[in-house]
Copies of this chain bind each other. A is one copy, B any other.
Amino acid sequence: MSPTSWLPIQHGSHFSIANIPFGIISTALSPTPRPSVAIGDFILDLRVFAKSDGFRALKSTTLDISVFNEKTLNKFAALGRSVHREVRKYLQSVFSENTPFPHILKDDVKLREQALLHRETAKNHVPLQIGTYTDFFAGKHHAENCGIIFRGPSNALQPNYLHLPVGYHSRASSVVVSGSPVRRPQGQILLQGSRSPILAASQRLDIETELGAFLCNSNPLGEPIDIDKADDYIFGYVLLNDWSARDIQAWEAVPLGPFNAKSFCSTISPWVVLPEALERFRCAPIPNETNLLPYLRERRTDSVFGIDLQVSIISKEGRRTVISRTRSSNLIYSFPQMIAHHTIGGCPLEVGDLLGSGTISGTQPGTLGSLLEMTQGGKKMIQLADGEERLFLEDGDTVVIEGRCDSGDQGGIVGFGECSGTIIPSIL
């Protein structure tokens, strides 16, 4: 199905011609952040490409190429899904082995030299200016696993859980791109048996393996988004590690929810994968027997994606252990359901808003999305490759979340690359 490219793309690359994800990059020689797409081990610099009239064969009436002069993808995103589709399809045809436009890039040696970069020479930036970051809790197995740890199995899910996608506002200003260091937070912690907290570096620093969605559309204050139109609001998807300090969280979160336990850092993967690239990998979410209110009922049953997720810890010494393999379909609510719920009371969403799925876990050992679950509440060590053990993260640990879709057919792999961060010591 998917054509091959005249560019050499390694077998197994996350960035096949079937993908074409968008990001913001800069280079040492050209430090201004600018839009680009990833393909194989290359990046196409869209600022240079657009300036050199690379879009001349597109003949679009809706693409304003000045969006590729921006330092974020917000203006491109705001052009809407039909323009994203058109641009992605056009770039696929430009990269295609049998491109109808060989003069645009393939045979233009000078433009190739200017516009095509090796991915390793570029620095990634947070791809959109994030208005608000809302984090949901749609990973049912995660909610159950945590509920069992905190409240026991008979009472694991709260009464509202099966009726609505529980969510909360998180902190946009501390969202960083993959590769940024993650400073271990200090905060108030109540030690067991004590009645007064201490100020200390978190000793229960955790991973939350999530999928994030960036929005490309806004709704006016007071006007909910219909669930069947919610897909039009999604620009694309990234991997998300919503780092969590469990000891800070346990003390602070009553009654208004997590605050400092989460707001110190959240890491996203750099490349925004468009919904079109994931369309082939649609599948059903975790079934919900509840008779949902009509505003949450979707026409489609394949409302989530089957992205294979893998979480690894790389120790200070460089030894890597895969600690989880799970699937992004382990969600009981889809992003359209989250959007419909987020706006049902009239809350206005904005271009650049980031929604998190909540931690994605399976039901079995080896498929869990957080150390809290893997260690049964910080009680049972997990084993790493080199004989080391962990309850929670140590300074120097690098956590890498990877996500890819590979249906095994000829359609091409669609991946997210890496969402990684290394823990650096607390300032305390």
Contact status B348-A256, CB under 8 Å = no
Cβ-neighbour of A188 out of B164, B169, B172, B254 (below 8 A): B164
Considering the complex, give the chain B residue whose CB is closest to the CB of A222: B183
Stretch at the interface among A91-99, A291-299, A415-423: A291-299
Cβ-neighbour of A169 out of B137, B169, B223, B254 (below 8 A): B169
Cβ-neighbour of A345 out of B264, B345, B349 (below 8 A): B264
Stretch at the interface among A113-121, A191-199, A271-279: A191-199
Chain B residues with CB under 8 Å of A168's CB are 168-169, 256-257, 259
A171 at the interface (CB under 8 A from B): yes
A241 nearest CB across to chain B (Å): 15
Chain B residues with CB under 8 Å of A295's CB are 199
Q: CA of A255 to CA of B255 in the docked complex: distance in angstroms? A: 8
Contact status A348-B173, CB under 8 Å = yes
Considering the complex, give the chain B residue whose CB is closest to the CB of A257: B257
Interface SS, A side:
loop
Q: CA of A195 to CA of B221 in the docked complex: distance in angstroms? A: 30
Contact status A183-B256, CB under 8 Å = no
Q: Which of A29-87 contact B (CB under 8 A)?
A: none
A131 nearest CB across to chain B (Å): 6
A170 at the interface (CB under 8 A from B): yes
A313 at the interface (CB under 8 A from B): no
Contact status A260-B170, CB under 8 Å = no
Q: CA of A345 to CA of B187 in the docked complex: distance in angstroms? A: 6
Stretch at the interface among A1-9, A244-252, A363-371: A244-252
Cβ-neighbour of A256 out of B166, B173, B223 (below 8 A): B166
Q: CA of A292 to CA of B107 in the docked complex: distance in angstroms? A: 69
Q: CA of A350 to CA of B129 in the docked complex: distance in angstroms? A: 13
A139 nearest CB across to chain B (Å): 13
Q: CA of A197 to CA of B164 in the docked complex: distance in angstroms? A: 10
A415 nearest CB across to chain B (Å): 28
Q: CA of A199 to CA of B173 in the docked complex: distance in angstroms? A: 33
Chain B residues with CB under 8 Å of A185's CB are 345-346
A172 nearest CB across to chain B (Å): 6
For A152-177 the 0/1 string (1 means CB < 8 A from B) is 00000011100110111111111010
Q: Which of A318-374 contact B (CB under 8 A)?
A: 341-342, 344-350
Contact status B169-A171, CB under 8 Å = yes
A13 at the interface (CB under 8 A from B): no
A404 nearest CB across to chain B (Å): 29
Contact status B346-A174, CB under 8 Å = yes
Contact status A197-B346, CB under 8 Å = no
Q: CA of A263 to CA of B166 in the docked complex: distance in angstroms? A: 14
A265 at the interface (CB under 8 A from B): yes
A258 at the interface (CB under 8 A from B): yes
A28 at the interface (CB under 8 A from B): no
Chain B residues with CB under 8 Å of A132's CB are 132, 171-173
Q: CA of A249 to CA of B291 in the docked complex: distance in angstroms? A: 21
Contact status A346-B264, CB under 8 Å = yes
Cβ-neighbour of A186 out of B174, B251, B345 (below 8 A): B345
Chain B residues with CB under 8 Å of A137's CB are 256
Q: Of residues A132, A169, A199, which shows the largest number of chain B Cβ atoms within 10 Å of its Cβ? A: A169
Q: Which of A209-225 contact B (CB under 8 A)?
A: 221-224
Contact status A344-B293, CB under 8 Å = no
A14 nearest CB across to chain B (Å): 27
Cβ-neighbour of A158 out of B169, B198, B254, B344 (below 8 A): B254
Q: CA of A350 to CA of B222 in the docked complex: distance in angstroms? A: 27
Q: CA of A6 to CA of B347 in the docked complex: distance in angstroms? A: 45
Q: A132-B173, A160-B190, A164-B188 are in contact. List 12 more A-B contacts (CB 8 A).
A: A137-B256, A164-B197, A169-B169, A169-B171, A174-B346, A174-B347, A176-B221, A186-B224, A188-B344, A199-B344, A224-B427, A263-B347
